Amino acid sequence: MLLKMDNLPGYFVNSCRELRNAKELDEWMNTLPIDGLLMMRLMEHLKYGVNHYGCDRDMELTGRFLQLNLPEDKKEVMDWLIDQGIACDCDAFAFVSKLASMAHNQLRVHNNAL
């Protein structure tokens, strides 16, 4: 199964387009209910899981990862993902991949400004 980054939920794509500068992006990234390192680990977990097992159009892989790594906040993160229009593990993979890319670009912008 090939995962395409252009298949992100519309709400998320529209939210990203509204972010005009590094300050807005920084503020938005600080509202996320999951930190950058855990987001990267979730991305790798989903990349492996979806590519090896496929997507069953549910969020089982995401839920398992959160239960093991963030049990006290699992419901909050799952609810947040659902609010972003995420309906399954392949959507979650595309979403956290885009977030990771944005975080990486944000770090690069901050480092270049120093």
In the block, residue with structure tokens 């890319």 = 101
d(CA 53, CA 104): 28
Q: Is the pLDDT of residue 110 over 60?
A: no
Q: Is the pLDDT of residue 17 over 50?
A: no
Structure tokens at 10: 């519309």
- Is the Cβ–Cβ distance between 41 and 93 less than 8 Å? no
Q: Which range scores top for mean pLDDT: 10-14, 37-41, 47-51? A: 47-51
Q: How far apart are the first and last CA of the chain?
A: 41
pLDDT score recorded for residue 98: 85
Element (H, E) at 29: helix 22-29
Neighbours of 47 (CB within 10 A): 14
